[in-house]
Amino acid sequence: MLKHNPYNFAAFKAWFETKVPESEKLTHIKGDDTWVRDMDQVVRWCRLVPIKAKLSFTLLEYVRSTLVDQYAGPNHKLLAVSAPVDFDFELLVVERAIMLLNGVMATRFSSPDTEAESAALGQADLTYNQMLTFTYRHDQKTLIASNISLLHVLADLLGRLKTSASPRTDIMKRVAPFEADEDVVANRLKLRHYIGDILRNQAALKQATSAP
């Protein structure tokens, strides 16, 4: 099952877009990414977005890339696709990421829960192919659901950090009902790079906007 297999992951294809100067090459192919230049000077490339048992930075980068040109908040000119910068924008990004994963779950499976797969895997007369099928579906559902829960935790933490006077204390408080007490430390470890990035970028942002 998933908890015994750290290499398990789900994935979906996503289209990224980036504006480029006129001097860029028309087409570039490297590995699994295909870059295609069109007439309006926008590079579009297709990439697999992996969903693993931790926060997917690729997923958040994809969502940022779809929202950054539409966002009209006060810091919109200072946003980055590759890193979290602004609390309000990141709350929007996380909300859209949750919607996206809920959509992936709904389109791939008739039901988001794993009861049917768990019951089937408890049968003694399963063929090898049936066992692989039910295990795959069970683990995919579990993986996507765990990412949705982790994103809900992140959204709550972003709301706290936005107004917190003691972030180190506030981020360690449990986010009910999306995590149990015993999950808090593990989830904060999964989010530590993201939280560190946005706190550093917020400090730099405040310094930049307050400079004369």
**Residue 48's pLDDT is what?**
58
pLDDT band at 1 (very low <50, low <70, confident <90, very high): very low
Model confidence pLDDT, tens digit, residues 155-194: 999 999 999 888 889 999 999 999 999 999 999 999 999 9
Model confidence pLDDT, tens digit, residues 45-88: 555 566 677 788 888 988 998 898 889 988 888 898 889 999 99
Specify if 206 maps to a domain. yes
pLDDT band at 44 (very low <50, low <70, confident <90, very high): low
Specify if 61 maps to a domain. yes
Flag the least confident range among 38-52, 70-84, 107-121, 188-202.
Answer: 38-52
Cα dist. 139→7, 104, 114, 120, 134 in Å?
Answer: 11, 14, 9, 13, 8
Torsion of CA 44, 87, 9, 62, to 10 degrees: 0
Specify if 86 maps to a domain. yes
Specify if 16 maps to a domain. no
pLDDT band at 7 (very low <50, low <70, confident <90, very high): low
Specify if 188 maps to a domain. yes
Specify if 123 maps to a domain. yes
Q: Tell me the residue range of the domain where 169 lies.
A: 51-210
Single out the residue of 44, 35, 77, 82 nearest to residue 63, CA to CA: 82
Specify if 105 maps to a domain. yes
Instruction: Look up the pTM and report it.
Output: 0.80
Tell me the pLDDT of the chain averaged across its residues.
81
Specify if 37 maps to a domain. no
Q: What's the total number of domains in the chain? A: 1
Which residue type is seen at 51? Answer: I
Burial of 151 (C-beta count, 10 Å sphere; 0-12/13-18/19+)? buried
